[in-house]
Amino acid sequence: MDYLKTYEFWKNDPFFDEATRAELAALTDEKEIKERFYKDLEFGTGGLRGIIGAGSNRINKYNVRRATTGFAQFLLEKYGEEAKKRGIAVAFDCRNFSREFAKETALTMAALGIPVYLYTILSATPLLSFTVRYLNCVGGVVITASHNPAEYNGYKAYDETGCQLLPDDADRVIAKVNAVDIRSTKVMDYEEAKAACLVKEIGEDVMEKFLDAVEAQAHPLDAAAKEALKIVYTPLHGAGNKPVRDVLARQGYTGLTVVEEQCVEDGNFPTVDYPNPEERGALKMGMELADRIGADLVLATDPDSDREGIAVRHNGELVLLTGNQTGALLVNYVIERRKAQLNPKSTLIKTIVTGELGADIAKKNGCQVKNVLTGFKFIGDIMNGFEKDGSGEYIFGYEESYGVLIGTHARDKDAVVGSLIICEMAAYYKAQGKSLVDVLDSLYAEFGYYNDVTTSYTLKGLDGAMKIKAISAHLREVGKDLMEGITEIKDYKDGCDGLPKSDVLKYFFADGSWMAVRPSGTEPKIKVYYGVKRATKEDALAVFNARKAVMDGIVNG
């Protein structure tokens, strides 16, 4: 019953403001009280992510201050006076309280003597990554919960390379945060912080430099081909609205129509159930508009504009593409357009749960392929290694979850550059009389049909967290008896393939296909990834359906 003591502390201690105490005093549901207080909101390997509200297990200004205090202590320990000279960058997306939490982050850093470059405009996650590098900061923070539902917000912490914190640094920050007494946190007055140059406001000036870097990734393409492409774009109420539209305008894509209702900044996401471009519903309004005007391409970016989803016109109908399909198409396109620059060091980087079509395309073209754990920070880490020792040359990186990075201007996935190159790719092939589905079919004809599918099971709250742990334990117990044909299991929890430890099980089958299972690190979900390759789509679907039925039974049983 310790959670009740924590609840009473938050409800009654004058350290917390009146609104917080009133919110907690109004609670009557015992289960809700337990959910809010059975633990502290954890600073994990990517930072904080949680439901907005009062409580130790909710994201609020107090937990933001606590996280920032621990992060600041880490930076001061690691960099000393250098941290007070170089400072950090802080950005935010469209979510409820994102601006406020960004300001709390800045003023907590300032109170500890670390100057902050604080965005005053809605800012995409890749812009934050770029800004850390561009301004030579010792770190960065972006306030976002990416594609989570509206009730969530989060806090992503970055290192001096613009990469999300890697495990060793993350562990050190977690230890610092866990040692912070929430009552010991301090914030500086905003005007005083500005007067002392401990908060420096930034905005359009740095955004323009970011767009310059994105635009540098474009390939030569006839103006008429760009003008002929009809695009519908939706930022899903988020941070992509300005940068995506600006860079497409710069590059001459005049056939752009936006979903006006979804260009309104709104953290409640009133036009979608779930602001996730992986979900068909997120593209529904865009697809309806595309059908009305006969558009070739529908493009959606998530709230912090680090991921993009697309639907393409093929034989008169709009076809949704998965992250694996879009990623493989981009691998093929970038290699085709940059073939003259490829060399033995040219490397594609992807995650262990991403499909193999892109890797097979890269290998056929003489490129190296590196696999990393889920999380773009691991792709960024390989990029940093290449930059230091020249052992490789980055050409492309992607995740099955709709995240890509073209170029080295950032160390995180970037839907702004992704959107630009997707539009360019669609225009390039349209000028040849092909849709992106035509190109994908030609790749299947050459390499075989890849049925790469991600499914997820949402299990909310304390009960859900316990069930996810139970499922993982059960899978480890049954081992190869889970399904017929399993020849090998890699348990990344113990560390393997030279990668850091991670709660991932990957199964390999005698037919060359694979399956992976992992709890999400940012949502109350357990995810299952299927990679099935067959000569025909029908055969691949049959294998997938049989394996999914087994997993459905385990999760729902």
Smallest CA-to-CA distance from 178 within 88, 251, 74, 273 is with 74
- C-alpha 384/C-alpha 161 separation (Å) is 8
The two most distant CA atoms of the chain are separated, in Å, by 69
Q: Are 348 and 367 in contact (CB under 8 A)?
A: yes
- C-alpha 418/C-alpha 306 separation (Å) is 9
Q: Are 128 and 157 in contact (CB under 8 A)?
A: no
Residue 391 appears among annotated catalytic residues: no
- C-alpha 463/C-alpha 35 separation (Å) is 10
Helix (H) or strand (E) holding 337: helix 323-337
> Letter for the amino acid at 420?
L
Smallest CA-to-CA distance from 246 within 131, 156, 127, 395 is with 127
Q: Which two tokens stand for residue 471?
A: 């499922």
Using CB atoms within 10 Å of the CB of residue 135, give its burial: 0 to 12 exposed, 13 to 18 middle, 19+ buried.
middle
Q: SS3 of 550, please? A: helix
Q: Are 229 and 436 in contact (CB under 8 A)?
A: no
- C-alpha 254/C-alpha 226 separation (Å) is 7
**φ and ψ at 331, to 5 degrees?**
-60, -50
- C-alpha 267/C-alpha 96 separation (Å) is 5
Smallest CA-to-CA distance from 93 within 461, 375, 326, 415 is with 415
Residue 532 has, within 13 A of its CA and on its CB side, a CA count of 21
Q: Are 283 and 395 in contact (CB under 8 A)?
A: no
Helix (H) or strand (E) holding 515: strand 514-519
Residue 126, number of CB atoms within 10 A of its CB: 33
**φ and ψ at 202, to 5 degrees?**
-130, 165
98, 129, 146, 513: the catalytic one is 146
Smallest CA-to-CA distance from 243 within 118, 418, 404 is with 418
- C-alpha 6/C-alpha 8 separation (Å) is 5
- C-alpha 106/C-alpha 202 separation (Å) is 13
> Letter for the amino acid at 347?
T
Residue 394, number of CB atoms within 10 A of its CB: 23
- C-alpha 101/C-alpha 120 separation (Å) is 13
Q: SS3 of 157, please? A: strand
- C-alpha 352/C-alpha 328 separation (Å) is 15
Between the CA atoms of 317, 321, 326 and 327, what dihedral angle is there, to the nearest 10 degrees? -170
Residue 97, number of CB atoms within 10 A of its CB: 17
As annotated, the active-site residues are: 146
